[in-house]
Amino acid sequence: MWWRQIWRALFGWKSYAEYLRSRRWASLRSKALKRDGFRCRICNTPYTLQIHHRYYAERWGLETTDALTTLCAWHHEMVEADKEQR
């Protein structure tokens, strides 16, 4: 329903987990994967791909594919660990 989508865009998702199940996330995710050629941007592997948020928008769902990077599970973990150290 259209009003539901507008409500969600205005108020956001109740939780990050809920957002990750949303259609909005699914479409952003597939756009980012396509743009990056379905490969990790660091090592070029096509396996265990995950989407890394380089930054988060004020609200979930407001980010664009500019904020997303395709990484393999291994590099995703490395990038996240690196961020925590700083």
Binding site for Zn ion (CB under 5 A): 40, 42-43, 72, 75
Nearer to Zn ion, 26 or 43 (CB): 43
Calpha distance 15→3 (Å, rounded): 19
Nearer to Zn ion, 7 or 47 (CB): 47
Nearer to Zn ion, 40 or 51 (CB): 40
Token pair recorded at residue 71: 């990484």
Cβ at position 85, least distance to Zn ion in Å: 19
Return the sign of the alpha-carbon dihedral for residues 53, 54, 60, 61.
negative
